[in-house]
Amino acid sequence: MMTLYRFKTRTTSYFFPKLTKKNRFIYSLYGNYGSVVAKLYWWLFLHCSLVRYLNRVELSSVQDFELLQSLLGTDSVFGINFGTPSPDQKKSILGYDGEGLHFFAKLSRKENAKKLSSNEIFVYQKLAGSGLVPTLFDHKITDDYVFLKTECVEGCHIHGQISNDEILKILETLRAYHYDDSLNANGLKMCFSHGDFCPWNMLESEGRLKIIDWEMAGERSLGHDLFTYIFQTSFLIRREESFENVMQKNRTLIDSYFESAGVDDWIPYFKDFALLKVDEFTRKQDSYMLARYKEALSCYSSNFYKLVKKEGL
């Protein structure tokens, strides 16, 4: 029977199987963006058998373990990320089956999480063959839960800078697709959008950048994913950096994207993006992120963007 060890963070818990060369990839469930103390604890968990032994758990105490085992197969070995408590909370699973095939899976029980996972299933079916999404192996949508199982996109979490060329290549490919036939009320061009196009949803594999976690995908105005990559990442990771500085550093990337899309004025597209973010973080009651996007809209109102376009800041 599989043995699981609990790795607890400030916000959630991870349950990992016994560490061997065969299943070491499962530990990539945890993307270590934490403090120095968190990094040290993670290193000890990985390299010290005593630390893992002291965190050994009974399978019966791991919520939904039996359901997951029935869905994935009794011969499967896997780790579980319980996710951060919220209406969107879901369990993420990484493992391999009895034939050694690596897989990734999700199990959602909360109502909003079930909607997101159902959307992700739709996206995988919609973009099948595009090279943008993993292959969907299996899925189940029931009143109690939504389950999906895909190929495992293996690679290393992105921690460094990604080249503009790589970002543009992915976004220009995605721009050719449409989620549905919805139109923007402001007359803006629309395209398929990942919705959370950030480094924590990117893996580097065999020299290529691969995108995961498509549950928030939908039809949005051009540039939504680009602005998400630039500003969401900056606001969360480089928290002290001013909005103006972030904008100036990424001006070339923004211009290149919109020029290739045949759009001369990207300012209305950024305003549309920022207004959506203000609405999102108002609902989530996230005061920090709300303040950052209000700052962006304030700069918009104070003619900062006119200066950007005229002077190329």
Check pLDDT > 70 for residue 313: no
Residue 311 pLDDT level (bands cut at 50, 70, 90): low
Q: What is the pLDDT of residue 43?
A: 94
- State the average pLDDT over residues 32-61: 90
- In order of start, what are the domains of the chain with their CATH numbers? 4-151 (3.30.200.20), 157-311 (1.10.510)
CA distance 171 to 133: 13
DSSP secondary structure code for residue 174 in this structure: H
- State the average pLDDT over residues 17-44: 86
Residue 220 pLDDT level (bands cut at 50, 70, 90): very high
Residues 6+ apart with CB under 8 A from 289: 235, 236, 277, 281
CA distances from 65 to 2, 6, 85, 198 (A): 11, 13, 18, 30
* 298 or 75: which leads in pLDDT: 75
Q: What is the pLDDT of residue 161?
A: 67
For residue 298, the SS3 value is helix
Residue 303 pLDDT level (bands cut at 50, 70, 90): low
- State the average pLDDT over residues 116-134: 90
Check pLDDT > 80 for residue 208: no
Q: What is the pLDDT of residue 202?
A: 86
CA distance 155 to 212: 11
Q: What is the pLDDT of residue 291?
A: 93
* 233 or 304: which leads in pLDDT: 233
- State the average pLDDT over residues 80-105: 94
Tokens 């950052």 -> residue: 292
Q: What is the pLDDT of residue 228?
A: 96
Q: What is the pLDDT of residue 180?
A: 78
- In sequence order, the β-bridge partners of residue 234 are none
Residue 205 pLDDT level (bands cut at 50, 70, 90): confident
CA dihedral of residues 8, 204, 201, 45 (deg, nearest 10):
0
Average of per-residue pLDDT values in the chain: 89
Contact indicator for 116, 213 with CB cutoff of 8 Å: no
- State the average pLDDT over residues 125-135: 86
Residue 73 pLDDT level (bands cut at 50, 70, 90): very high
DSSP secondary structure code for residue 220 in this structure: E
Q: What is the pLDDT of residue 1?
A: 64
CA distance 36 to 174: 36
